[in-house]
């Protein structure tokens, strides 16, 4: 596996690959890999001749009071894990190379970024779309693999790709969970034993919602109340519980096949998200 540090070197590598007629798959990450990341890498190797993993803790998607400074990092371990998955290139640029002092451009997707996580994290998705746009230009992938845990992020990126006519296929990967149901996240390392136990209320809420839907419930307001009651049994702070359309992210009063249950909570100082397409077969 090759480690590339600068955008110019990364683009030069991509151009050499493209000149041979081969394809590139990209997995954008912020590092501190867990099994969820590794599954994305495996999907990338299945979808292209070469897999590139970007490792970049993107400062412009963090708010003033968020965890940029303490975001978990372990570069040497990440390199070993990526290499073991057959990744061809680990692209790990420096902040000053991605955002030179004179940089004055941001990529903004409106509408889809207003609610859910966008409401409590102003500017977050502008940072996400800007860095992903830059990665697409630098790496020149034929496809890019994203996990469905960050459902709003996925919808926003798909909208950006469609609106800007990018010839990049976005590959969705299902949420990868621990054996007890907790969605895998690098931020799970922040949780104490008691906090981790409390965080399982997200998965229990999804199970409850799916059972109620299978029983015929279609009123979102009823299920919203039940899910919030379930979450409040634990020592967590509810940021939002929403039932939205998976493409438009608009709230839905009547549950239907396109409905996503999206949730965000705080457990201690750790913010966690989870979601589920309620009518999708598991």
Q: Which option is the CATH number for 186-275: 3.50.50.60, 3.40.50.720, 3.30.450.20, 3.30.1300.10? A: 3.30.1300.10
Q: Which of 265, 257, 259, 258 is nearest to 241 (CA)?
A: 265
Range 2-173 classified under CATH 3.10.580.10:
no
Domain ranges, ordered by start, for the chain: 2-173, 186-275
Q: Is 125 exposed, middle or buried (0-12, 13-18, 19+ CB in 10 A)?
A: buried
Structure tokens at 24: 């590139």
H helical segments located in 85-123 = 95-98, 117-120
Contact (Cβ atoms closer than 8 angstroms) between residue 114 and residue 1: no
Name the DSSP letter for residue 251.
B
Q: Catalogue the active-site residues.
A: 37
Where does residue 32 fall: left (phi above 0), alpha (psi -120 to 50 degrees), or beta otherwise? Answer: left
CB 265 within 8 A of CB 237: yes
Residue-wise pLDDT tens for the chain (282 aa)? 999 999 999 999 999 999 999 999 999 999 999 999 999 999 999 999 999 999 999 999 999 889 999 999 999 999 999 999 999 999 999 999 999 999 999 999 999 999 999 999 999 999 999 999 999 999 999 999 999 999 999 999 999 999 999 999 999 999 999 999 999 999 999 999 999 999 999 999 999 999 999 999 999 999 999 999 999 999 999 999 999 999 999 999 999 999 999 999 999 999 999 999 998 876
* The model's pTM: 0.96
Tokens of 157: 């990126």
Backbone conformation region of residue 150, classed left if phi is above 0, alpha if psi is from -120 to 50, else beta: beta
């Amino acid at each position: 596996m090759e480690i590339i540090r600068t955008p110019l070197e990364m683009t030069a590598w991509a151009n050499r690959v493209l000149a041979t007629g081969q394809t590139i798959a990209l997995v954008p990450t912020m590092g501190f890999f867990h099994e969820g990341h590794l599954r994305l890498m495996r999907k990338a190797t299945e979808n292209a001749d070469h897999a590139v993993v970007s490792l970049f803790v993107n400062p412009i998607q963090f708010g003033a009071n968020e965890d940029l400074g303490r975001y978990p990092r372990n570069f040497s371990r990440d390199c070993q894990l990526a290499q073991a998955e057959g990744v061809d290139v680990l692209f790990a640029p420096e902040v000053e190379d991605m955002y030179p002092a004179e940089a004055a451009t941001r990529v903004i997707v409106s509408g889809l970024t207003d609610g859910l996580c966008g409401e409590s994290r102003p500017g977050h998705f502008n940072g996400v779309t800007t860095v992903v746009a830059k990665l697409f230009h630098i790496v020149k992938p034929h496809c890019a693999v994203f996990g469905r845990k960050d459902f709003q992020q996925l919808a926003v990126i798909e909208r950006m790709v469609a609106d800007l006519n990018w010839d990049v296929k976005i590959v969705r990967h299902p949420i990868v969970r621990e054996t007890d149901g907790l969605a895998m996240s690098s931020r799970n390392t922040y949780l104490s034993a008691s906090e981790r136990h409390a965080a399982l209320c997200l998965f229990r809420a999804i199970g409850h919602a799916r059972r109620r839907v299978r029983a015929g419930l279609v009123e979102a307001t009823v299920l919203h109340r039940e899910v919030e009651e379930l979450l409040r049994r634990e020592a967590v702070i509810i940021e939002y519980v929403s039932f939205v359309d998976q493409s438009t992210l608009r709230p839905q009063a009547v549950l239907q096949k396109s409905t996503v249950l999206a949730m965000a909570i705080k457990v201690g100082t750790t913010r966690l998200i989870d979601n589920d397409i309620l009518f999708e077969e598991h």
